[in-house]
A = this chain, B = another copy of it.
């Protein structure tokens, strides 16, 4: 098995160039922000566009056979089954408000096996970089992550914090009903946070075990997070408990297996 040295170097290069772009625009007024969707759930700034373009340029030059799945521009097909999955600013809403709890998501996936090989969550303002590599302990700024909740088998939803970026992401009546059911049984409900919530989850930062329930997501919203979370004992699947793939839109993540199982039971009963 490869140690992914070259890929990690490339991931760091992508995180560096996107950091440079994003820091130029963070907390600046009058950056163009265009609403992409009629439901106003998505927004584009110059920072999104330029950060993605900078990453894509490097990839086209360095690994021209790899494909690219991206938030802003057209996807690029792969010649070897490997895809880079890019979200320049996950949490544009926090970015637009000037809150440093958004992130750049960079994933590398082997599409033949639906296997995320490498994942990076980069917070450019706070200079926090999570890196996950399949089969290895993930790191934050090079330091191995520890999730104190990973091995607990007595966690309970009534002692857990449930988080979702926004209630607006629960679109269908079914999704709204499921969110409401889970909200009823958890100790605390907290909105906001976007991908930074997953960084916190992987790092065991929350002062109580955590469950993240989200819907209406795209592949680039979660692909990079998978190796970071799984490498530290967190569980991330779809709402049925299935492995996530490029078509998934409903995501359930939890601090440990016990909590994840309980959440699945609430969702599906």
Contact = CB atoms under 8 A, between A and B. Distances in A.
Interface string A92-112: 011111111100000000000
A187 B99 CA distance: 18
Interface string A177-202: 00000000011111111001100100
A200 B149 contact: no
Interface in A130-172: 148-149, 161, 163, 165-168
A208 interface: yes
Interface of A: 25, 27-31, 33, 35, 40, 43, 45, 93-101, 126, 148-149, 161, 163, 165-168, 186-193, 196-197, 200, 203-208, 210
Given A40-B186, A99-B200, 19 more contacts: A30-B148, A30-B207, A33-B208, A40-B188, A93-B188, A93-B190, A95-B207, A96-B161, A96-B206, A96-B207, A97-B163, A98-B206, A99-B101, A99-B193, A100-B101, A165-B192, A166-B191, A191-B191, A191-B192
